[in-house]
Amino acid sequence: MSDKVHGFDTLAIHAGAQPDPATGARATPIYQTTSYVFEDTQHAADLFALRAFGNIYTRIMNPTQAVLEAKVAALEGGTAALALASGHAAQFITFHCLMQPGDEFVAVRQLYGGSINQFNHSFKSFGWHVVWADMEDISSIEKAVSPKTKAIFCESIANPGGRITDLAAVAKVAQKAGVPLIVDNTFATPYLCRPFEHGAHIVVHSLTKFMGGHGNSMGGVIVDGGNFDWSKSGKYPMLSEPNQSYNGMVMHETFGNIALAITARVMGLRDFGPAMAPLNAFLILTGMETLSLRMQKHCENAKKVAEWLSKDERVSWVSYAGLPSDAHHKLAQKYCPKGAGAVFTFGLKGGYDAGVRTVSNAKLLSHLANVGDTRSLIIHPASTTHSQLSPKQLEQAGASPDVVRLSIGIEDAADIIADLDQAMGS
């Protein structure tokens, strides 16, 4: 493409992509290969020493994956990106770049249940410790910060309740603490929200969800905002100190505003290996070409369904920021002006049993542990995605026993409503 600044839809189709130089193929090919022939011994040496960019081994990089990375970075407004096998892998590799044994990070409680488990339990094996705060109380985030804090983590649109995070306010806390703000932008996608514009430093996604959009491929991504000084405080040695595995190279000094993305690739992905499959990169690329069209319909349908539920006598409450009555509506207008997303929760007056019964009775809506599909999806978080949490944690995460989570697809809204109507019973 030219140097002109293109619109979102143009970037979703063209960013990072060129006709294949060998065949002229217009769609990005699936480079189903493990390795690549070097030009000569000097070329190989330069690649391994990070003196040149290029392909070495598909565990570390792949041409199909490279197009995906460039496209996501362009859509988010970042400097570079690294695609990985899943959203969980993206979170793990991000924290690996930042944390040392004994370090802490602050995370808000309103998160995907799998992230809560990863932070509470698996990260302890590395000596990384989470300190929990509340997205509804910015002062609690500030109080959770200590000299050991290395990052602050939140979701732009929180899972499962669809609450909107006041990103600018959280970013001010991170700036004052001198630590990066990491934002999981899975539910919003860059079509609805671009966290870098509100002070974030790192964005992560589960590409499995809305970005791919068709429930057929796993993937995650780290996007480097290029807007954090990794050398200033001395708190991030993997980025700011000589690296012995690269003959004393200092990553931030050498790579500047793409240092995090490079470090995540050559230190995290290289050694832990959660590589994305080329086929998955291809499928997610294909899905991303229609991202804006899908998100428009997702949001339009979600608002119609939420409005219907809010008037139904079987429903005790609806948590959807797209409703003017919702406590997060003003934040949605600020951070997600094109729509409040497609995932939200509601509570049934019959509590736990009514929630389980509704999910079991659904016919059009699929009962499964995913979101962001073209199909409408339904789940009861307290008995599934958040079942490992204590009653107090369930309440804090917005997944109390009466909660049903919906991921509204792009079917006809009237059909989605009709299925919910019969599923809830009389």
Q: What is the pLDDT of residues 198-209, one digit of tens each?
A: 999 999 999 999
**CATH of the domain spanning 292-424:** 3.90.1150.10
| Residue-wise pLDDT tens digits, 403-426 | 999 999 999 999 999 999 999 987
Give strand ranges (E) for 260-416.
315-319, 343-348, 366-367, 377-379, 403-407
The proportion of the chain whose per-residue pLDDT surpasses 70, expressed as a percent, equals 99
Q: In a 3-state reduction of DSSP, which class is residue 317?
A: strand
| Residue-wise pLDDT tens digits, 209-220 | 999 999 999 999
For the chain, the average pLDDT equals 95
Does residue 389 register a pLDDT over 80?
A: no
| Residue-wise pLDDT tens digits, 251-302 | 999 999 999 999 999 999 999 999 999 999 999 999 999 999 999 999 999 9
Per-residue pLDDT at 161: 81
Name the band, by pLDDT with cuts 50, 70 and 90, for residue 49: very high
| Residue-wise pLDDT tens digits, 90-128 | 999 999 999 999 999 999 999 988 899 999 999 999 999
Q: Tokens 């705060």 appear where? A: 133
164 or 391, which is more confident: 164
β-pairing, 315-319 vs 343-348, is: antiparallel
396 or 117, which is more confident: 117
Residue 384 to residues 96, 112, 164, 401, Cα–Cα distance (Å): 28, 12, 23, 11
Rounded CA gap, 9 and 13, in Å? Answer: 7
Rounded CA gap, 9 and 225, in Å? Answer: 21
Residue 406 to residues 94, 365, 403, Cα–Cα distance (Å): 29, 9, 10
Question: Where along the chain do its domains lie?
Answer: 8-287, 292-424
Does residue 385 register a pLDDT over 90?
A: no
Does residue 1 register a pLDDT over 60?
A: no
pTM: 0.95
Its CATH class, for the domain covering 8-287, is alpha beta
